[in-house]
Structure 1
């Protein structure tokens, strides 16, 4: 019976740790995704703007 109590306590601690770690990582993941998407958009549109500048 004591072993069941210990495992439930440790499981709760691990769940809390994972929740805290997830909430800390979410902003960093959003920034990384934003930089990647922004870089992809710039990489797609920069040649179009350079072509327009060369023609005009």
Structure 2
């Protein structure tokens, strides 16, 4: 049971750190700008992949 409790505590600590990182990224980039930038990057990568010629 102690192992399970330690794992749960570690998950809570990790979640708190991820929220802090997310808040800092939102403050630095702006939430809308970050989401738009990520979507543009994903779109650009996928369109490049689709346009790549297939060679036998």
What TM-score, normalized to structure 2? 0.50
Q: TM-score, normalised on structure 1? A: 0.50
Higher relative contact order (CA 8 A, sep 6+): 2
Structure index of larger Rg: 1
* Greater share of helix: 1
